[in-house]
C-alpha cells in the first residue's frame, strides 16, 4: 500500500532551469526525484505547490510523492539530502493523508522579491537579488502596490506562455518596504500566473523611478493589455517564500531566506 509523504524544500535556483522536469535534467524536480529514488529504491514522481522559473529561489517549497516502501521520516530528510546538490535541501518530511495535494490543497502562496537599489551593481548579491541603478520612490511604489490588492484580471501581468485557465486571481497582500539599499516586495495570493510577480515588480519599478504615477497600475489592470506594461523583471531576487495550508494537514511552515545581506528572517 502506497504512503503519501509531504516535504518542505528550499533551494537556490540560480543554476537550475526552473522547477519542472526537463529532458536535460537540470531542474530542481529532476535533482529531487533522483535523490528520492535513491532512498526509495524505485522511481519517484513528485508534485509541487508552485512551479518556479529558471533562476528563481524557494525558501518554502512544498512537494508530495507516493511510495510503496516504508522508511523513517528522517530518511526522507537526511538521507535524501545526502544525494542532493548543496543548493537544494529538504527541511522536513511528514506522512500525510492520501487526499493531500501539495498544489491543490494550498490555500495561498507568498513570494518575496529583493531588489538592490544602488548606482553600482553588487557582486555578493549576484543571483540572489535583483538590481536597479536609479533612485526609487518608496511611497509611490507603495501606492501603486495598493492598487493590486483584491480580485482582478491580471492579464496585463501575465506571460504569453502562461497556461492558467483564468487570469483572475485574488491578491491578498502587496507591500513594499526598504531595508538599507534593498527594497523588499511582498505578495500573497490564492495563486499566481506565469511571471506575474516579476511583471508586477517591473511595473512598480517604473512607478518608483517616476516613469508613471501610481494610478498607472490600476489602469494596467483595467486595460488587460500586457504590451502596455513594463518588461518582465529579472528572476534573481525572487523567492517562493511560503505556502499556506489548512491546520488540519499539520505541516510545519518554516519559510526563510538566508542571504548575504541584512534581512530579518521570518
User: Beta partners for 114?
Assistant: 184
pLDDT of residue 24: 87
Domain ranges of the chain: 3-105, 108-239
CA dist., res. 220 & res. 230, Å (int): 10
CATH class of the domain defined by 3-105: alpha beta
Q: What are phi and psi of 260, to 5 degrees?
A: -80, 35
Determine whether domain 108-239 maps to CATH 3.30.70.660. Answer: yes
Report how far residue 157's alpha carbon sits from residue 3's, in angstroms, rounded to the nearest whole number: 39
Tell me if 248 sits within 8 A of 100, measured CB to CB. no
Burial profile 80-112: b = 16 or more Cβ within 10 angstroms, e = fewer: beeebeeebebbbbbebeeebebbebbebbbbb
- Is residue 140's pLDDT more than 70? yes
The pLDDT value recorded for residue 253 is 67
- Confidence band, pLDDT 50/70/90 cuts, at residue 266: very low
Joined grid coordinates for residue 222: 483595467
pLDDT in tens, 48-101: 999 999 999 999 999 999 999 999 999 999 999 999 999 999 999 999 999 999
- Kindly report the pTM of this predicted structure: 0.92
Find the helix packing angle between 196-208 and 215-223, rounded to 10°: 140
Helix, strand, coil fractions of the chain, as percent rounded to 5 = 25, 30, 50
DSSP 228: G
- Which residues are designated catalytic? 53
* CATH topology agreement for domains 3-105 and 108-239: yes
Distance CA(221)–CA(65), nearest Å, equals 37
Element at 189 (helix H, strand E) = strand 182-189
What pLDDT was estimated at residue 264? 38
Amino acid at each position: 500500500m502506497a504512503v503519501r509523504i509531504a516535504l518542505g524544500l528550499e533551494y537556490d535556483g540560480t543554476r537550475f532551469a526552473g522547477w519542472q522536469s526537463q529532458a536535460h535534467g537540470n531542474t530542481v524536480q529532476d535533482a529531487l526525484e533522483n535523490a528520492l529514488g535513491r532512498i526509495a529504491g524505485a522511481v519517484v514522481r513528485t508534485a509541487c505547490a508552485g512551479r518556479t522559473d529558471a533562476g528563481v529561489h524557494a525558501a518554502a517549497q512544498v512537494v508530495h510523492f507516493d511510495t510503496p516502501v516504508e522508511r523513517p521520516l528522517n530518511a526522507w530528510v537526511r538521507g535524501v539530502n545526502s544525494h542532493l546538490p548543496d543548493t537544494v535541501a529538504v527541511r522536513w518530511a511528514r506522512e500525510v493523508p492520501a487526499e493531500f495535494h501539495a498544489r491543490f490543497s494550498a490555500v495561498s502562496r507568498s513570494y518575496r522579491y529583493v531588489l538592490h537599489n544602488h548606482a553600482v551593481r553588487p557582486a555578493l548579491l549576484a543571483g540572489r537579488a535583483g538590481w536597479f541603478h536609479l533612485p526609487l520612490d518608496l511611497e509611490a511604489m507603495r501606492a501603486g502596490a495598493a492598487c493590486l490588492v483584491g480580485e482582478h484580471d491580471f492579464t496585463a501581468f501575465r506571460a504569453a506562455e502562461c497556461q492558467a485557465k483564468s487570469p483572475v486571481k485574488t491578491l491578498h497582500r502587496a507591500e513594499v518596504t526598504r531595508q538599507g539599499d534593498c527594497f523588499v516586495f511582498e505578495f500573497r495570493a490564492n495563486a499566481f500566473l506565469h511571471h506575474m510577480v516579476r511583471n508586477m515588480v517591473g511595473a512598480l519599478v517604473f512607478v518608483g523611478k517616476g516613469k508613471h504615477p501610481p494610478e498607472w497600475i490600476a489602469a494596467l489592470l483595467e486595460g488587460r493589455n500586457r504590451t502596455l506594461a513594463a518588461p518582465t523583471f529579472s528572476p534573481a531576487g525572487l523567492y517562493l517564500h511560503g505556502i499556506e495550508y489548512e491546520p488540519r494537514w499539520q505541516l510545519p511552515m518554516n519559510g526563510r531566506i538566508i542571504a548575504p545581506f541584512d534581512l530579518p528572517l521570518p
